[in-house]
Amino acid sequence: MSGKTLSKRNERDRAAPPAIYLVAAILAAIAGFATVYVSFAPSDNGPGTEVSDSVTEEGSSPLEGLNKGAMAALVIKSKPVALPAFTFADAAGQTKSLADFRGKVVLLNIWATWCLPCREEMPAFDRLQTELGGKDFEVVAINIDKGGPEKAEAFLKETGADHLTFYTDPSGKLFSTLKAVGMPTTLLIDREGREIARLGGPADWASQEAIAVMEAAISAPPKSS
Separation CA 144–CA 177 (nearest Å): 12
Percent of the chain, pLDDT > 70?
72
Q: Above 60 in pLDDT, residue 146?
A: yes
> Across the chain, what does the average pLDDT equal?
80
Percent of the chain, pLDDT > 90?
68
Select from 139, 225, 129, 122 the least CA-distant residue to 183: 122
Q: What radius of gyration, in Å, describes the C-alpha atoms of the chain?
A: 25
Confidence of residue 148 (pLDDT cuts 50, 70, 90): confident
The more confident residue out of 8 and 108 is 108
* Mean pLDDT (whole number) for 205-219: 97
Residue-wise pLDDT tens digits, 4-18 = 444 444 444 444 444
CB 214 within 8 A of CB 105: yes
Q: Above 80 in pLDDT, residue 169?
A: yes
DSSP 165-197: PPEE-TTS-HHHHTT--SSSEEEEE-TTSEEEE
Distance of CA 119 to the CA centre of its chain: 17
What is the spatial order of strands in the sheet that 75-82 belongs to? 75-82, 194-200, 185-189, 105-111, 137-143, 167-168, 88-90, 95-96
Phi/psi at 89 (5° precision): -135, 150
